Amino acid sequence: MVDDLDLVTGATGLIGSRLVPRLIDQGRSVRALVRPHSDVTQLTRDGVHLIAGDLTDSAAVRRAMENAGRVFHCGALVSDWGPRRQFQRVNVDGTRHVIDGALAAGVQRMVHLSSAAVYGYPRTSLPIGEQHPQTPRSIPYIETKVAAEQLVAQAIRCQGLPAVTLRPVMVFGPGCQNYVGQVVQHLRRGSMVMFDGGRHVAGLAYVDNVVDAICLAATAPEAVGQTMNVCDDSPITWRQYIDALADGLDIPRARFSIPSKLAYAASIPCETLARCFRLRQRPWLTRMAVLELGQSQIYDIALARRVLGYHPAVAFEQAIEATIQWVKRTNDRT
């Protein structure tokens, strides 16, 4: 084992791509497990050691894990739509491979990136804490993130895996497609639809703030065995967030809104038809999309504050400006 060697899965994704340079700045050597056709230009430029393979390949994961001192498991299939078996292979089987590799390598710390989606987006006026029940809702992404967490918890309990689980909420920032790229596309087309006028708290988690939490989780002595929420602890609503994107890019604001209850009811036949016809493209409405934007996402981060010393360092105004500048730098390709 090399004490200063870190393995990052999902290194080309939203969170992983921001984590890698942070680790390098800390003087760490970084290795990344990357799929053969991934864009690794920046990773190569940063001097990251690349291992070709993916999470579904247990042998590749083992090779990538050799001699690693720490592992940051950021890789996952993150989507509100897709084949259930693919979510199972990547999110559950992939996490099992990472756990097995970490145990075999004797890593000092594993940081597992889960999601606040495991709570199932409950309707409540109270902040959601880590003890809140998990509700998969028969949604593949949520089901498999719950199952992955259970694997990590079992490995901690039964095999002594020195792991920490973080549950980020709505992660956004430069490089984000789900909550930036797709929103900008809809705004430009005039097809952006809000639910309940966009009045719900979005539960935003700026990507660099999430990276702060990850780095703290890798070193905090009391973090092992803990599961913690991570977000910006901000009251920003979806209306405020989406309007800020539109205004910053000088494009028209969203004009349409429908009641979330109606949207959720409509999402069920939309998904049913898409499954019946085996459509690869996501349906117009999905249950998960309505749940995310159709009710307030308010989470308690007191545990992360106490155990990690975490606080969201980048305020919304700075975060949204950096995000807007990223959209502009990419020549509006989002």
pLDDT tens for 67-90 read 999 999 999 999 999 999 999 999
For the chain, what is the mean pLDDT? 96
CA dihedral of 240, 243, 245, 251, whole degrees rounded to 10 = 180
Q: What are the domain boundaries of the chain?
A: 2-171+203-232+297-313
Residue 315 CA: distances (Å) to CA of 171, 173, 200, 213, 232: 14, 12, 19, 15, 8
This model's pTM is above 0.85: yes
Asked if 168 and 231 touch (Cβ cutoff 8 Å), the reply is: yes
Grouping H, G, I as helix, E, B as strand and the rest as coil, residue 334 is coil
pLDDT in tens, 249-259: 999 999 999 99
Residue 331's pLDDT band (boundaries 50, 70, 90)? low
In angstroms, the first-to-last Cα distance of the chain is 41
Sign of the alpha-carbon dihedral angle for 187, 327, 7, 36: positive
pLDDT in tens, 84-109: 999 999 999 999 999 999 999 999 99
Cα(273)–Cα(263) distance, rounded to whole angstroms? Answer: 16
Cα(306)–Cα(308) distance, rounded to whole angstroms? Answer: 6
Angle between helices 58-65 and 94-105 (to 10 degrees): 40
Report the CATH superfamily, name and number, of domain 2-171+203-232+297-313. Answer: NAD(P)-binding Rossmann-like Domain (3.40.50.720)
Q: What is the number of alpha carbons within 13 Å of residue 163 lying toward its C-beta?
A: 30
pLDDT in tens, 288-325: 999 999 999 999 999 999 999 999 999 999 999 999 99
pLDDT in tens, 186-223: 999 999 999 999 999 999 999 999 999 999 999 999 99
Residue listed under structure tokens 């993916």: 54
Sign of the alpha-carbon dihedral angle for 251, 235, 205, 294: negative
pLDDT at 278 over 90: no
Written as six digits, the tokens of 122 are: 């409950």
pLDDT at 332 over 60: no
